[in-house]
């Protein structure tokens, strides 16, 4: 019995030690920080008078893409990974463009990245394998982090096209995101 308890304690200790050494969160945070830098550069590059530019009638404007990145980042990190109740896209006013200046939008995105980074930096590695419902699909919290990164890239990519459509050279790509 003594050996069984010792073995159990060793396995418990070793698994906790291994979990803390898992580099995923550290690498993800580096990626997210670089994503923030690049997103802010893109947001600053577009002149304020072009923030309402749309590539087509049915598409989001440059400003709407920017704030949609913020909304999704807030939802993925604070609500799906954290424990805060989700905002409702249709009724949310925090991430709506109305009455916000370019400076206010950039500040909001920067603050939202800060909040996501703060939450993720404290995220417990062992929770990465927890599953939740994501639009009817079972996904791990690790997958939620990857979905968040993809979503930021998707909408920032649209913003980069909008810069080009306005004859503005995008900022140089920030690596490792």
What pLDDT is recorded for position 7?
Answer: 52
Q: Which two tokens stand for residue 177?
A: 């995101």
Q: What is the pLDDT of residue 163?
A: 98
> Residues near 35 by Cβ (< 8 Å), separated by ≥ 6?
113, 149, 152, 153, 156, 174, 177
**pTM for the predicted model, two decimal places:** 0.86
What mean pLDDT is predicted for residues 40-48?
98
Looking at the structure of the chain, the number of domains it has is 1
The answer as to whether 170 is a domain residue is no
Annotated binding site for a divalent metal cation: 68, 151, 155
pLDDT, one tens digit per residue, over 124-177 is: 999 999 999 999 999 999 999 999 999 999 999 999 999 999 999 999 998 877
pLDDT mean over 11-36: 77
What is the CATH number for 44?
Answer: 1.20.120.450
How confident is the model at residue 18, as a pLDDT?
44
Domain containing residue 71: 23-165
Q: Is residue 10 part of a domain?
A: no
Residue 47 placed within a domain: yes
Annotated binding-site residue numbers: 68, 151, 155
Q: Does 8 reside within a domain?
A: no
- Please check whether residue 9 lies inside any domain of the structure: no
């Amino acid at each position: 019995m003594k050996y069984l308890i010792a073995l159990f304690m060793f396995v418990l200790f070793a698994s906790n030690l291994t979990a803390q050494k898992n580099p995923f969160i550290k690498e993800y945070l580096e990626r997210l920080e670089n994503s923030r830098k690049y997103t802010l550069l893109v947001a600053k590059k577009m002149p304020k008078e072009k923030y309402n530019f749309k590539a087509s009638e049915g598409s989001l404007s440059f400003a709407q893409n920017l704030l949609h990145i913020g909304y999704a980042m807030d939802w993925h990190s604070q609500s799906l990974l954290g424990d805060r109740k989700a905002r409702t896209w249709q009724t949310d006013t925090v991430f709506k463009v109305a009455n916000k200046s370019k400076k206010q939008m950039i500040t909001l995105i920067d603050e939202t990245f800060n909040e996501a980074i703060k939450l993720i930096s404290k995220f417990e590695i062992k929770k990465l394998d927890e599953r939740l419902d994501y639009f009817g699909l079972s996904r791990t919290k690790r997958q939620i982090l990857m979905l968040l990164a993809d979503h930021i890239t998707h909408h920032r990519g649209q913003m980069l096209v909008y810069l080009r459509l306005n004859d503005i050279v995008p900022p140089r790509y920030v690596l490792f995101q």
